Amino acid sequence: MKVMTSAINVQVDAKDKEQATNILKDLGLNMSTFINMAIKQVIKKDGLPFEVSNPKPSKELLEALEEGEKIIQEVREGKRQGYNNVNEMMRAILND
């Protein structure tokens, strides 16, 4: 039985290719083997073998980020004490 193969030519960002190649090498794979594995999974799952989504930050995360920005601004304005590391913070707490 003759095995037929077909070539695929894709354009990818050079840095992305390098990073992916290094990761695959660490896993004992090469790009061709990975692409073949991915295609087999698409066939097996009859779709993408992973979730594709556009994650959106939760309301809580957005509120926390806003609060963090407010704290940073207050530290810059001298309205709030800021610390460069946990040791500075602990000294201030223990000295109060």
Residues 18-34 have pLDDT tens digits of 999 999 999 999 999 99
2 lies in some domain: no
Contact by Cβ (8 Å): 20, 31: yes
Mean pLDDT of the chain: 94
Provide the pLDDT for residue 3: 81
29 lies in some domain: yes
Nearest alpha carbon to residue 81 among 66, 67, 71: 71
Structural domain boundaries enclosing 26: 14-45
Contact by Cβ (8 Å): 40, 46: no
Provide the pLDDT for residue 1: 72
Enter the pTM of the model.
0.54
55 lies in some domain: no
